[in-house]
Amino acid sequence: MSTVIQHIETLLVDLPTIRPHKLSMTTMACQTMVIVRMRHSDGIEGLGEGTTIGGLAYGPESPESIKRNIDTYLAPLLVGQPSNNVHQLRARLNRHARGNMIAKSALETALLDAQGKRLGLSVAELLGGVRQDHLPVLWTLASGDTAKDIDEAMLRLEQRRHCDFKLKIGANPVDQDVRHVAAIKEALGDRASVRVDVNQAWDESTAVRGIQVLQDAGIELIEQPIGAREHAGLVRLANRFNVPMLADEAVQDARDGLDLVCGGFSGAFALKIAKSGGIYGVLELAHVAQAAGIGLYGGTLLEGTIGTAASLHAWATLPAMAWGTEMFGPLLLQDDIVVTPLNYTEFGVELPKGAGLGITLDEDKLAHYSRK
């Protein structure tokens, strides 16, 4: 008799951040994660996580909608189904439910975690094997205060925690933002690379002004300066400047990647399991990028340890990523809900060891931070 999915539970977990995290569309002081616990008839439990940024400020899914849609629509499609055919279950979800990529990613992660535990293999091994088990991790400077950001960067360098830094800009007038970034780059000099994420805040003409100053200041990468749907504008910016453009919200899945490549885009793609509907979807996008000579960057929606571990298992199967990763989500949180946190060391993070994701929940912490 085949193993089947018996029960799927979702929990809203609210964890405070170590400091306010300022983006162009919101400022965060707390991160809400949707934790999925998927129980199977053989007694194995798979873990997954669905996380977004700032409620509905970032995208069409909120923590509350992720939980409700899993509970009401997606979980009933999986309960009672055989546990081990992840591809078939992905197809079933996609056939019956549109969108909801973060929710689907959380469920796929739980399926892979359970299958890895069942077979005694890590998720990366399920995907074909590990090519890198220590991944570089940048740190986002997002206090909004120039002096504080410089001090924070210097501390991270001294700790050998991070040597690449990204600044969230776009909430202020362009001249103010680029002065802020240029001052930080000047203070750090050659000790660290500095990139920016505009989070779609500029129109194309503003982007031309801002990027020119940023390029002159030595900034190494410009993430999503204009709106997600403005593919032609992003191509024009990529071709106009020497500093590479990083497509993030503009490239959700392999089809988006193909459209950008065919449109003449050069630069880099930000990979995120959440926006691609899970690990398999994001690896499809990565393979399009590799075929087209597009650089890879391991992105985050500021997931906690479970979601971050899932991404790390995906990135571990790829060649060295040209632009590294930003898998620092757990470091932004004041506490954790797992027994053994991820090991951040030597400017990066270690791939967790063990079957599945290699992550075990701390039941007391989970109960404490779960929304009642």
Which pLDDT score, from 0 to 100, does residue 55 have? 84
What are the extents of the domains in the chain? 5-123+362-369, 126-350
In three-state secondary structure terms, 40 is: strand
69, burial (CB in 10 Å: exposed 0-12, middle 13-18, buried 19+) = buried
CATH of 5-123+362-369, one of 3.40.50.300, 3.40.50.10420, 3.40.50.10490, 3.30.390.10: 3.30.390.10
Structure tokens at 20: 């306010």
Which pLDDT score, from 0 to 100, does residue 142 have? 84
- DSSP track, 346-369: TTEEEPPPSSBT---B-HHHHHHH
Q: Is 363 a catalytic residue?
A: no
Q: Taking 80 as the threshold, does the pLDDT of residue 167 lie above it?
A: yes
The predicted model gives 127-156 an average pLDDT of: 94
pLDDT classification of 1: cutoffs 50, 70, 90: low
Summarised one tens digit per residue, pLDDT across range 187-223 is 999 999 999 999 999 999 999 999 999 999 999 999 9
pLDDT classification of 21: cutoffs 50, 70, 90: confident
Q: Taking 90 as the threshold, does the pLDDT of residue 268 lie above it?
A: yes
Active-site choice (49, 108, 230, 326): 326
Type and span of the H or E element at 17: strand 5-22
102 in Cβ contact with 66 (< 8 Å): yes
Which pLDDT score, from 0 to 100, does residue 320 have? 87
Which pLDDT score, from 0 to 100, does residue 19 have? 82
Active-site choice (117, 168, 185, 272): 168
More confident residue, 263 or 26: 263
Rounded CA separation 106/102 (Å): 6
Q: Taking 80 as the threshold, does the pLDDT of residue 315 lie above it?
A: yes
How far is CA 129 from each of CA 87, 126, 246, rounded to the nearest angstrom? 18, 7, 27
Q: Is 326 a catalytic residue?
A: yes
The predicted model gives 295-301 an average pLDDT of: 96
CATH of 126-350, one of 3.40.50.10860, 3.40.50.720, 3.40.50.620, 3.20.20.120: 3.20.20.120
pLDDT classification of 143: cutoffs 50, 70, 90: confident
Summarised one tens digit per residue, pLDDT across range 102-130 is 999 999 999 999 999 999 999 999 999 99
